[in-house]
Amino acid sequence: MFTSNPFAELSASIPTVYMQGYIVLMVLMVMGGTILDMMHKKSAQYFFENAKKAKKSAKRSVGGGEKAAIAASVLAKEVLTSGEFSNPRRRLSHLLTMYGTIIFVVTTAIMIFGYPTPATPTPALLPQLWHIGALMLAVGGYWFWFAIRVDVAAEGLPWFRFERADLFILSLLATSTFALIWSFTGGGLSVFFVLFILSSTVLFGGVYWSKFAHMFFKPAAALEKRVAEANGTRSNLPAPADAPEKYGSVVKHSNHY
């Protein structure tokens, strides 16, 4: 099962065009939810206004080359390696979840659009990566939920306490878990496939109510903060949530994914 494409087997029960249409619908739901979130929280307006204020009060000019270097630093630290997490366990958990999600989602799209039926044999590497991505996601997510989140040094929240912000990580874990069970039980049209689809629909369709959109704003916030520091102005953006001893504040919301 580790080397078989479960979506190709599913094509015997569900037309390929339906599976491809579902992927397109989820992409549109993510885009729509993110736009609504930006409109509701006025995130884009905040960034533009904050940038104007910073430009007016700047003590020095930051050139294009310096901004490019700052952007590269943000990409390397905050995006690719999650260096903003001072807790190494939390950082590793986040990286496992993040890269597992990327691998899982990308290989899903490739297999559904590129190798949707048994008539188009799937390269063995793709389903292997699909399973590895789902496993990485599950390991990182469950580690965070049951070990890190409940740690008093981190947040001290009981694993059974749910907040709206937890919708993202819980639906993400459900999606990877049911996907793995569905595949390992033979694939095809089954109850685990239905649960897999339901949880993924909640994941991508619940962007407006979860913290999914947070991942799009975090790099922009980090870049704005670095530029503000470079031009000598004081940033209004909050300090990292996992370093209360350094910044003197604790953020209660648990989900940083």
Establish if 244 belongs to a structural domain. Answer: no
Q: Is the pLDDT of residue 74 over 90?
A: no
Q: Domain total for the chain?
A: 1
How many CA atoms lie within 13 Å of 168's alpha carbon, on the beta-carbon side? 21
Q: Quick check: is 62 in a domain?
A: yes
d(CA 119, CA 137): 30
Residue 256 covered by a domain: no
41 or 123: which leads in pLDDT = 123
The H or E element containing residue 102 is helix 88-114
pLDDT band of residue 243 (cuts 50, 70, 90) is very low
pTM comes to 0.78
Residue 107 lies in a domain: yes
Whether 190 maps to a domain, the answer reads yes
**Domain assignment of residue 72, given as a range:** 6-234
Span 125-134, average pLDDT? 96
pLDDT grade for 250, boundaries at 50, 70 and 90: very low
Which range in 28-37, 98-107, 229-238 is most confidently predicted, on average pLDDT? 98-107
Mean pLDDT over 230-251 rounds to 48
- Average pLDDT of every residue of the chain: 80
* Assigned domain for 120 exists: yes
Cα angle, residue 48 at apex, residues 234 and 243 outer, rounded to 5°: 45
Residue 22 has pLDDT above 80, yes or no: yes
In a domain, 253, yes or no: no
